[in-house]
Amino acid sequence: MLLAAGAAAAQAQEGEWIGYRDAYRAMVVFEKYGKPKNLLQNHLQVMPREKGASAEGLQLTLSGKTIQLNLPLDATGRAVFPLLKAAYDENAALLLNRKAGLYAFRPRVSLALRADGVYEAPELRAGCEQALQYERDVDASLRTRKCVGVRFVFGRKGEPGVKLRRGEAEQQTLPAVEGAAFPGEPDEGFKTVGYRFAEGQDKGQVVTPNPPLAIAPLYD
């Protein structure tokens, strides 16, 4: 899932860049994927390599001979990646406003967000299974893993207030902890709420009064 090693090496010095073609080849895999993915979304993520590298104020720009495009990053460092023929033909540059060697570029698959903030428990499991099936297809090392839950990711301030609802009379507030947005990331300052799947108990809804930044699949 990581971008090509040569592209990563090109980030080693400040002012150097990653070529658009390298990112395109990694991102287009998801676009061409033929199995179910309707519950998923795919982004290009700029991820700090270590705790000392902050994502705050980070800016990503696509720059070519005929193209100059700002790619807004959300709080988790993800951008909607444009699949542009002109940028590919020019091998436009993906530029950061920081020392690029402190960051890694990678595709990031997560569950699609719902506008109403209400997530059916069976749909969360189905989304996690779609994500795992996709990642197994591109990374053979994940073939023995299984879905165990999802992680709702929120900003650093405020209380998420996520509730598990099983019928109108039964509601449980799920605990929030500080942690990384996605497993294995060094930035652990996000508010996160975990929802674990229980065998034979995919019933009810997870309700998010405040919109999450992301929903990450969890594997074990």
Burial (CB count within 10 angstroms: exposed 0-12, middle 13-18, buried 19+), residue 111: buried
**Total domain count for the chain?**
2
Domain span including residue 12: 5-110
66 and 130 share one domain: no
25 and 83 share one domain: yes
Taking the CB of residue 120, how many other CB atoms lie within 10 A of it?
14
19 and 98 share one domain: yes
Per residue in 34-82, pLDDT (tens digit) is: 999 999 999 999 998 888 777 788 999 999 999 999 999 999 999 999 9
104 and 141 share one domain: no
Domain boundary among 76, 110, 144: 110
pTM of the model: 0.89
What is the distance between the alpha carbons of residues 137 and 100, in angstroms, rounded to a whole number?
29
> So what's the pLDDT on residue 102?
86
Do residues 23 and 81 touch, judged by C-beta distance below 8 A?
Answer: yes
> So what's the pLDDT on residue 17?
67
Give percent of the chain with pLDDT exceeding 70. 91
Measuring CA to CA, how many Å separate 18 from each of 2, 44, 104, 209? 13, 12, 10, 38
Domain boundary among 110, 135, 167: 110
17 and 105 share one domain: yes
> So what's the pLDDT on residue 15?
40
Domain boundary among 110, 137, 153: 110
104 and 152 share one domain: no
138 and 206 share one domain: yes
129 and 180 share one domain: yes
Phi and psi at residue 68, to the nearest 5°: -140, 110
138 and 185 share one domain: yes
What is the distance between the alpha carbons of residues 67 and 93, in angstroms, rounded to a whole number?
10
Consecutive 10-residue runs of the chain (220 residues): their mean pLDDT? 36 56 95 98 93 82 95 96 96 90 92 97 97 96 95 94 85 95 92 90 90 97
143 and 162 share one domain: yes
3-state secondary structure the chain: CCCCHHHHHCCCCCCCCEEHHHHHHHHHHHHHCCCCCCCEEEEEEEEECCCCCCCCCCCEEEECCCCEEEECCCCCCEECCCCCHHHHHHCCEEEECCCHHHEEEEEEEEECCCCCCEEEHHHHHHHHHHHHHHHHHHCHHHCCCCEEEEEEEECCCCCCCCEEECCCCCEEECCEEEECCCCCCCCCCEEEEEEECCCCCCCCEEECCCCCCEEEEEEC
32 and 105 share one domain: yes
104 and 120 share one domain: no
Q: What residues pair up with 153 in beta bridges, in sequence order? A: 192, 214
Do residues 218 and 149 touch, judged by C-beta distance below 8 A?
Answer: yes
